[in-house]
Structure 1
Amino acid sequence: MSGPIASILDSRAFGILARVLLTLVFWSSGLAKLFDFNANVAIMEGFGLTPGWLFNSMTLILQIGASLLIILNRWVWLAAGALAVFTVLTIPIAHPFWLKEGEEAFRDMTVALEHVSVIGGLALVSIVSRRR
């Protein structure tokens, strides 16, 4: 591997940037749930999660809190595991592609596959954190 690429990959700043980017989907969603709390309560209740205020609160705490732990490289295995379980659970709740048809089924299946890919990234960040 060339010197400049190795330097980038070994830099602390690049590691932080990678963890921020990996968790972007979680902490941005958590902040949206915080700043537009009532709208997100309604979304939770629309998925049958009641009381919506409790599910919204727990979700935003998990999304923001676990993202921060990963970004700060603290208890990464726990934070990544919690986000992975959360991400798996969102598939049958919010993206049940097997119950849909046509374009809607395709869209939800694509989102479900993206979720599985994010879980792979969470597993990798746990491995890298442990090795360092």
Structure 2
Amino acid sequence: MPSWIARILDWSYFALFARIVLTFPFWASGLSKLIDFSGGAAEMAHFGLSPPAFVNALVLVTQLTGALLIIANRHVWVATGALAVFTLLTIPIAHDFWNQKGHIAQLEFFFVVEHISVIGGLMLAAILSRQSKHKGA
């Protein structure tokens, strides 16, 4: 590996940036649901989740708290676990490609594949956080 790449990878601000990027879908969605609470509740109602306002509040708290903990590199195993379970649960609720036809089924399948990749990224974040704590970093 070139030394300049190693220096970037060892830089603590690059790790912080990586945690911000990894959690972008969660904090962006959580902020959206907070700023437009009624829109977030309408989204929950659209997917048959009830009571919609309560579920919206629960989702935005999960997303924002989980993202903040990962960004801060604190209790990352809890945050990544909660966000991974949340992400996994969205698959049968919002991305049920097996119940769709044609192009929509294909699009929803691609969302599922991306969700699984995000779960893998969350798993890596938990591993790397644990390893950094053992190194004293």
Over 2 Å off, 4+ runs: none
Corresponding residue of 1:81: 81
Distance in 2 between residues matched to 1:111 and 1:124, nearest whole Å: 20
Corresponding residue of 2:92: 92
**Structure 1: gaps spanning 5 or more residues:** none
**Structure 2: gaps spanning 5 or more residues:** 133-137
Which digits, 9 at most, give the CA deviation of each residue in 1:26-74, with x for residues without a partner?
Answer: 0000000000100110110111101100000000001000000000000
Corresponding residue of 2:135: none
RMSD between superposed Cα atoms in Å: 0.5
TM-score for both structures, normalised by structure 1: 0.99
Give the aligned length.
132
SS at match of 1:129: helix
TM-score for both structures, normalised by structure 2: 0.95
1:108 aligns with 2:108: yes
The letter of the residue matching 2:47 is: F
Distance in 2 between residues matched to 1:102 and 1:59, nearest whole Å: 30
Corresponding residue of 1:38: 38
Question: What fraction of aligned residue pairs are identical, expressed as a percent?
Answer: 52
Corresponding residue of 1:53: 53
Which digits, 9 at most, give the CA deviation of each residue in 1:88-129, with x for residues without a partner?
Answer: 000000000000010000000000000000000000010000
The letter of the residue matching 2:77 is: W
Corresponding residue of 1:128: 128
Corresponding residue of 1:62: 62
